[in-house]
Structure 1
Amino acid sequence: MEDLPFTIEALGRAYGEGLRPEQVVAEVFRRLDATGDKGIFIHEAREQALAHAQSLGSPGGRPLWGIPFAVKDNIDVAGMPTTAACPDFAYDAKADAFVVARLKAAGAIVIGKTNLDQFATGLVGVRTPFPVPRNALDETIVPGGSSSGSAVAVASGIVAFALGTDTAGSGRVPAALNGIVGLKPTLGALSASGVVPACRTLDTVSIFALTVDDAWAAFDAVTGFDARDAYSRKFARKMPHVPTKGVTIGVPDAATLRTFGDEAQKAAFRESLSVLEEQGAEIFELDFTPFYAVAAMLYEGAWVAERVAAVGSRLTEKPETLHETTRAILEPGLKLSAVDAFEGMYRLKALRRECEDMLANIDALCVPTIPRFVSMEEIAADPIGPNSMLGTYTNFVNLLDLAGIAVPTGGRSDGRPGSVTFLAKAGEDALCASLAGAVEAGALGATAWPRPARGRLAAGSPAASSSGNEFAIAVCGAHMSGLPLNHELTSRGARFVRAARTSSDYRFYALAGGPPYRPGLVRQEEGGAAIDLEIWSMPKREVGGFMAGIPAPLSIGTVELDDGTSVKGFLCESLGTQGGADITGHGGWRAYMATLQKQEAAVQ
């Protein structure tokens, strides 16, 4: 248990073999205690997390069932305090933030609330009245902010993923500094209901994870329009399996690439570009001067005033409750006028047009996530300068309404983690994730766990296709995780990939006979529905033996999924449904079995 990787795939496989969520929660806090770091969490939900784990019930098709996650302490979790790293601001949340509610509905377990730069103002992670969390890889380096605790919790292997926020880079800079993935969604793709604002027009919830697959799984669970959030937007749902070949990627040219003397960072970035070129991407060098000009605007004019609006009268009436550096950053905003704000908006509009003209000819951007590393000693000597430098490649992103993801690319020549960020137009989160999956490499944060084989997000691979030495298979009945025949998969080394649904072209039957009770999935031209299933990946050498044991009227055929892709999976001959019950209305095997158990209990 102590060696179990806290990735969604590894946990799902362990649950399929009998592990219980309450055991995982206990291990979470054992790992947290073992770090000796009192700065990671502001609030530890030990009793609540255990109670939640014990009450989870069966997986029921929930894609994140039993997966532990942490929440940045500017995001509400019902029954827990929200402080935004300002004790005088603290309140007890009455309800979950939209994104937290979504994750709980998907079966995930909240472990606690993590530390941050106060009011999410900073990229260094030290602007907090609580103990500063230690960088998971190197205590002499800043942990990164503002989502410091969330990044360190993931990099330390304490949780599988964590929520942060990202206005200026708070979801990407800590990811780079701790060697993990930081997914910054398109503005409005994730609801900000229940999130303490920092700079409301530019805020988004972000996701930290050890792998791109895990970050996307969490993103997929929380994405959705929220009518209560005035900034929520509707986007067409896309899946991240875009081939790298032929993708056009813009990068800073030699004259405008900024690493501030860090030659190892420059070399690591060039190596990442070589990896992309080897996979067929086309690299185009750009003059990044307009992007840097946009970045500089984030802490000037209108947007500093917007941060003042977020903290309200606290800055003038209770300035002593603010961290001294936070206060120093915000106070100039008190002197700004409406004229300053409009002039800033006009300036941004002009710069944005320049940037959009360059973006019109490419699919994505690739930049170093950070230009160089910053030490604790350096930030103590100058609390603001190095922080601004860390935002070189992050500050412009939300001002330009871009999607992004930071991804580790393996160790640099000096042993520190390399990281690049992919950026694309609003709504192109899937493209960013696909490209990130093409280059992710190296250690999983500060853990010694092996990096798993690239899963469903491997660039160029369908979401559930077979490739390499593995065969993807969809199961919809007793072979699902936690059910009686799941051992037939796990004993052959199969691994859980994800929960999914068929297209709406199937009827679902409970076949006659049993136990074990078996379902039958039948393709229909009309009158069908979407049915819950799970996708597993099995070593190809095991497939023949597995298929040989499949009894008639079942067989393996092509199953279409609701995202337009297809996968091999269990199907049933139409004649085989005779004498069975049509259970299509239940939407899946778990729901049907739960109903059946209730009926049997009522009879008894």
Structure 2
Amino acid sequence: MNLQLDNLRSAYLSGDITPRQLLLQLREKAIQLNPDYHLFIHLLSVAELEPYLRALEGQAIADLPLFGVPFAIKDNIDLAGVPTTAACPAFAYTPSRSATIVEQLIALGAVPLGKTNLDQFATGLNGSRSPYGACPNSVLAQYPSGGSSAGSSLAVALGVASFALGTDTAGSGRVPAALNNLLGLKATKGLISTAGVVPACRTLDCVTTFTHTAQEASHLLALTARLDPLDAYSRRNPAWNDASAFGAPRPFRFGVPRDQDLEFFGCEQGPRLFRQAISRLIALGGEPVSLDLSPFLEAARLLYEGPWVAERYSVAGDLMECQPEAVLPVIRAVLAKAPAVTGVDTFRAQYRLQMLKTLCDQALQTLDCVLTPTIGRPVTLDELHEEPVLRNAELGYYTNFMNLLDYAAVAVPSGFMDNGLPWGVTLFGRAFTDQYLLSVAHALQRQQASAASAIGTASHDRTRLVVCGAHLEGLALNGQLTRRGARLLERTHSAAHYQLFALAGGPPYRPGMLRVAQGGVAIAVEVWEMPSSELGSFVHGIPAPLGLGKVQLADGRWESGFICEPYGLAGALDISHFGGWRQYLGSLQ
């Protein structure tokens, strides 16, 4: 059965199946799969499922956005009454309360199916570092599932859950998505609560989702991105990143790593697949821009070569010291240097990271997103066995920097290798541009499916602004834009439905643009893009009779821009025939 959210909801509404019937069928399917794939550490028993199923009885489907939706939970995320192991039996505990994100999903009608396997203490990107068994790939068993959210990716890929929760510190929500043909959303740090999650690195951890489509991920994010008083690292989701921001992207600029920064570790097909992904973004209206990835990659190296390994040790260190045999040898090896990390080391690394973030933020300033491969080269289980640390590090080449630099990221399916193994790319961007990144991902997925999608226009943390007067580039008030980090996108004209007036007063001298039913002309304008966080202070400084409203451009688009209230035209001079403010000013010289 197709378990995607819209399809499942339709099945429930039509009466084709009930949540009880579906969950019991999926449980049996998971039992059959588990000996080969080791995807579940704890599959809920029929008795454990019963309270969740009973709670849905008598509920209206329309009242619960996730009515009867089966989901899986990575076993470092708490589910009340079920042991949390973090793939380490000696560490296990049974929580009395579920993690905040799990509570949210259950309240929305979703039903947990079980706790999934992972690389022990979420330390790994391959899915083979678990005493509960290595997780093979869902397509080719000689490859790993990817990790650390191994079982969660398999639960969705193998069709026993509509979506699954993972976590991501270094790429654990993205690498498994790429290897299993899934959409992996690593939202901005703090958007999804981590209360009730066993930390890997508390300051960096994110809860992630695995879905088949970007549209499903967008829906889940909109439902769960809430400020949580139980999570000291929780952050409020700004209005520009709510559900309304998900839509069809307008022409955009996307960063592409320089050739010298790309690394495919000997994979001959990777460069071709990546070039194809670039071409698809161009076909969607994207303009590729060369990006120096070196500061991003330097930041990535800090995650395991720097003091953040000590943050991981703060979770497992006590157990390693008193029961070293309880922790897998490869995990002990990764964390072994942590006790030697000093406070001086920590601060020096933080200073370096801040410098690198400044460089990286500057590089992203004029980009809407960045495109990279998700992994350079898939590695086999045999290769991981022979060189577990090196091969794992290769899997994190494009992922390790993301949370250190506080960026949002989406792993998107993008094709298949010649042997049938899935291959994917990652879209990343500034914090709180999650819905925009999902919009671009959605466009990629729809493009590959050759299908249209009736959705609105995508938006992110920048607001477009049409200016027609003193704010034009180089004129008296343009500094009010540039000081706020705005940049010029285009010079164009309004639709031929406006009149332009030189208003009384000044300096500074200003025009007023008025939409009219008859006698209008096209007015020369500029479209600027401003950080949305700066818009409030800009609007506050606009004097009457001017204000911001919607302005129609020559190509039919409607954008926010300067308009004038009719009362302000008393004593004003009609200068429409000049066709623009610059032309009028030129006539005065």
TM class by smaller structure: 0.7 to 0.9
| Cα distance in 1 between the residues matched to 2:149 and 2:455 | 25
Residue 441 of structure 2 is aligned to residue 436 of structure 1: yes
| Cα distance in 2 between the residues matched to 1:452 and 1:418 | 19
- 1:265 shift after superposition: 1.5
- 1:254 shift after superposition: 1.8
1:10 to 7, 14, 27: 7
Q: Partner residue of 1:40?
A: 39
Q: Partner residue of 1:26?
A: 24
- 1:60 shift after superposition: 4.6
| Cα distance in 2 between the residues matched to 1:305 and 1:410 | 38
| Larger of the two Rg values belongs to structure | 2
- 1:416 shift after superposition: 2.3
- 1:259 shift after superposition: 1.1
Residue 330 of structure 2 is aligned to residue 325 of structure 1: yes
| Cα distance in 2 between the residues matched to 1:307 and 1:163 | 20
Of 225-234 and 236-245, more deviation after overlay is shown by: 236-245
1:296 to 278, 295, 301: 301
| Cα distance in 1 between the residues matched to 2:50 and 2:291 | 51
- 1:243 shift after superposition: 3.6
| Cα distance in 1 between the residues matched to 2:340 and 2:116 | 33
Contact 1:408 1:441 in 2 (8 A): no
2:368 to 349, 363, 370: 363
- 1:377 shift after superposition: 0.4
- 1:456 shift after superposition: 6.5
Q: Partner residue of 1:227?
A: 229
Letter aligned with residue 319 of structure 2:
R
Letter aligned with residue 379 of structure 1:
L
Q: Deviations over 1:446-474 (max 9, x none)?
A: xxxxx79665768759xxxxxxxxxxxxx
- 1:255 shift after superposition: 2.1
Q: Partner residue of 1:86?
A: 88
Q: Deviations over 1:305-356 (max 9, x none)?
A: 1111122412222221101111100011111111111111111112112211
| Cα distance in 2 between the residues matched to 1:283 and 1:369 | 18
Q: How does 1:379-398 map to 2 (within 5 A)?
A: 379-398=384-403
SS of structure 1 residue aligned to 2:261: coil
| Cα distance in 2 between the residues matched to 1:196 and 1:241 | 31
Residue 53 of structure 2 is aligned to residue 53 of structure 1: yes
Letter aligned with residue 321 of structure 1:
A
| Cα distance in 1 between the residues matched to 2:335 and 2:180 | 28
- 1:50 shift after superposition: 4.0
Q: How does 1:533-544 map to 2 (within 5 A)?
A: none
TM-score between the two structures when normalised by the length of structure 2: 0.74
Letter aligned with residue 366 of structure 2:
N
Letter aligned with residue 405 of structure 2:
L
- CA 1:119/1:441 → structure 2, altered by over 3 Å: closer, same or farther? farther
| Cα distance in 2 between the residues matched to 1:442 and 1:90 | 45
TM-score between the two structures when normalised by the length of structure 1: 0.72
Letter aligned with residue 346 of structure 1:
Y
Q: How does 1:576-595 map to 2 (within 5 A)?
A: none
Contact 2:413 2:424 in 1 (8 A): yes
- CA 1:441/1:158 → structure 2, altered by over 3 Å: closer, same or farther? farther
- CA 1:12/1:421 → structure 2, altered by over 3 Å: closer, same or farther? same
Letter aligned with residue 26 of structure 1:
L
Letter aligned with residue 215 of structure 1:
A
Residue 411 of structure 2 is aligned to residue 411 of structure 1: no
Contact 1:435 1:459 in 2 (8 A): no
Q: Deviations over 1:138-185 (max 9, x none)?
A: 110011110000001111011000000000000000000111110001
Q: Partner residue of 2:159?
A: 157
| Cα distance in 2 between the residues matched to 1:418 and 1:69 | 24
- 1:14 shift after superposition: 0.6
Q: Partner residue of 1:173?
A: 175
Contact 1:40 1:148 in 2 (8 A): yes
Q: How does 1:456-495 map to 2 (within 5 A)?
A: none
Q: Structure 2: where are the runs of 5+ without partners? A: 460-589
Q: Partner residue of 1:264?
A: 269
Percentage identity across paired residues of the two chains: 41
- 1:294 shift after superposition: 0.8
Write out the 4+ residue segments of structure 1 that deviate beyond 6 Å after TM superposition: 456-459
Contact 2:261 2:292 in 1 (8 A): yes
Contact 1:71 1:162 in 2 (8 A): yes
| Cα distance in 1 between the residues matched to 2:39 and 2:447 | 23
- CA 1:39/1:230 → structure 2, altered by over 3 Å: closer, same or farther? same
| Cα distance in 2 between the residues matched to 1:455 and 1:129 | 44
| Cα distance in 2 between the residues matched to 1:409 and 1:346 | 37
Q: How does 1:203-214 map to 2 (within 5 A)?
A: 203-214=205-216
SS of structure 2 residue aligned to 1:65: coil
SS of structure 1 residue aligned to 2:31: helix
- 1:52 shift after superposition: 1.6
Letter aligned with residue 235 of structure 2:
R
Contact 1:410 1:441 in 2 (8 A): no
- 1:364 shift after superposition: 1.0
Q: Deviations over 1:97-144 (max 9, x none)?
A: 000000001100000000000110000111111122221111100111
Q: Partner residue of 2:134?
A: 132
Contact 1:168 1:396 in 2 (8 A): yes
| Cα distance in 1 between the residues matched to 2:455 and 2:125 | 29
Q: Which has the higher contact order (CA 8 A, sep 6+)?
A: 1
| Cα distance in 2 between the residues matched to 1:455 and 1:5 | 19
Q: How does 1:61-76 map to 2 (within 5 A)?
A: 61-76=63-78
| Cα distance in 2 between the residues matched to 1:424 and 1:173 | 18
Residue 197 of structure 2 is aligned to residue 198 of structure 1: no
- CA 1:175/1:441 → structure 2, altered by over 3 Å: closer, same or farther? farther
1:281 to 286, 296, 299: 286
| Cα distance in 2 between the residues matched to 1:104 and 1:221 | 12
- CA 1:380/1:353 → structure 2, altered by over 3 Å: closer, same or farther? same
Contact 2:248 2:455 in 1 (8 A): no
Q: Deviations over 1:394-421 (max 9, x none)?
A: 0000011000110102324443222111
Of 212-221 and 297-306, more deviation after overlay is shown by: 212-221
- 1:38 shift after superposition: 5.5
- 1:429 shift after superposition: 0.4
| Cα distance in 2 between the residues matched to 1:362 and 1:333 | 37
Residue 97 of structure 2 is aligned to residue 99 of structure 1: no
| Cα distance in 2 between the residues matched to 1:33 and 1:85 | 19
Contact 1:409 1:442 in 2 (8 A): no
Q: Structure 1: where are the runs of 5+ without partners? A: 444-450, 462-604
SS of structure 2 residue aligned to 1:299: helix
Q: Deviations over 1:277-324 (max 9, x none)?
A: 111111101121111111111102220111111224122222211011
| Cα distance in 2 between the residues matched to 1:384 and 1:356 | 30
Q: Partner residue of 2:555?
A: none
Contact 1:117 1:128 in 2 (8 A): yes
